[in-house]
Amino acid sequence: METLSFGLGIAFVVVIAIVVVAVYALVKVLKLQQSVGGLSRNLQDTTRDFYNDKDREVSNLHRRIDNVEESIYRAIDSRLDRLENKLIPKEQIKK
């Protein structure tokens, strides 16, 4: 009888140890899941911010190119008007 009680006691201690280790592992896994979820949200936010910044910079670049293009056309138009005025006197235009 003593051997059976001893064997059952040892088995009970082993089962308790396994349960404790399983609970500990479960808690660790849950914490890791929360951590990974936070990192995933951080990555999504960072990616979204990056693409928003990129789109904003592209828009600014297009706007600057349009402004430069417009100023070049104005300068060319002004120069052509001056050249036209030099080549064709105003008296000839009025006739």
The token pair that represents 83 in the structure block: 């050249």
pTM > 0.75: no
To 10 degrees, the CA torsion angle through 63, 67, 72, 73?
90
pLDDT above 70 for 94: no
- Euclidean distance between CA atoms 75 and 30, whole angstroms: 67
Residue 66 lies in a domain: yes
pLDDT digits (tens, 9 = 90+) for 51-64: 999 999 999 999 99
Residue 71 lies in a domain: yes
Whole-number pLDDT of residue 1: 76
Whole-number pLDDT of residue 90: 66
Residue 47 lies in a domain: yes
pLDDT digits (tens, 9 = 90+) for 8-21: 999 999 999 999 99
Pure H helices in 1-95: 2-87, 90-94
pLDDT, the chain, mean: 92
- Euclidean distance between CA atoms 85 and 88, whole angstroms: 5
Number of domains into which the chain is organized? 1
Residue 13 lies in a domain: no
Query: Residue 84 belongs to what domain range?
Result: 26-88
Q: What percent of the chain has pLDDT over 90?
A: 76
